[in-house]
Amino acid sequence: MVSAPNLSPQQSPLRTGLVVNADPEVAALLKSVLPATAWSIQNAANNVAALKLVETRPFDLIITSEDTSGKEDLELLRKIRKVRPHVRLIILTNEGTPADVIASMREHAFSYFSKPFSLDSLAEIVRLAAEAPCWDDGIEVISATPSWIRLAVRCARTTADRLTQFLHEVTDLPEPENSNVAMAFREILLNAFEHGCHFEAKHYVEISYVRTSRMVGCRVRDPGEGFSLDEIHHAAIANPPEDPLRHEVHRSKLGLRPGGLGVLLAKNLVDDLIYSEDGNDVLLIKYLDPQQDNQQALAS
């Protein structure tokens, strides 16, 4: 445990973290992301020890061991919620199922990573957990099975990154298809946040995820007035072939941030990108290789 120094009246108290049986790589990552000048990190040998510590004192952030199962960590999360309802908990696990990922969203886990996972992605989520303001009403499960999930998500960048990681875990596709679907979804979700909600946290976006034996589909519906693809001159997808940067001129005139590549990027990462007539409802579809899907089903 890192001891807190004597604080002057001007200094803020250290924030507190609890890590369960972290391996050396994860421990090093946390040391770089959560500096000792701002964080006091305590270690627990297992989930039982972690729960005892949580019952005696509050923690700002808890990270489980990647050597435990998703079900074990979900049980820990449920018990922690009874005494610390708003703590931010990131599940690391040696195995996970779509059902476990859905359960973690219902229980308001901050995020979920199953082996093998990207340390860079974990570092980014840990940063979000350390810095994000109000978060635990950001993802609401309306109804869910591993094949059909309906969510209401609050319009915030933190929510987009958290939900992208959950989707990456629940979408049981081989790489790089899994990452492509998650990336395309994030771009369309951020587009809905920016243009449909104007990044106002009071608004929510409706999300649907459907997994069949032949395709994965994601639907994003925002509360905005919508648009026509023929009229969004601030987006790269509207550029003529001879002027691939024309959208930047329009974005500058409108006072928009640099970008406008989201829809074009998403279109290139999935097989179909379909907008409704009003333009505030979009469907992403990724078709599956039947033989590849059957092999994966046999292996699971």
pLDDT on residue 96: 83
Q: Residue for token digits 């359960």?
A: 103
Going by pLDDT thresholds of 50, 70 and 90, the confidence category of residue 230 is: low
pLDDT on residue 252: 54
49-63 residue pLDDT tens: 999 999 999 999 999
Mean pLDDT confidence for 8-28: 81
pLDDT on residue 2: 44
Mean pLDDT confidence for 141-165: 94
Quick one: which H or E segment has residue 189? helix 177-191
* Structure-token pair, residue 260: 């406008």
- Compute the C-alpha angle 143/82/206, nearest 5°: 25
pLDDT: is 234 or 31 the higher one?
31
Q: Looking at the predicted structure, is the pLDDT value of residue 8 above 70?
A: no
Question: Do the strands 88-93 and 61-63 form a parallel or antiparallel pair, or are they unpaired?
Answer: parallel
Going by pLDDT thresholds of 50, 70 and 90, the confidence category of residue 145 is: very high
Instruction: Give me the domains of the chain, ranges plus CATH numbers.
Output: 1-134 (3.40.50.2300), 137-300 (3.30.565.10)
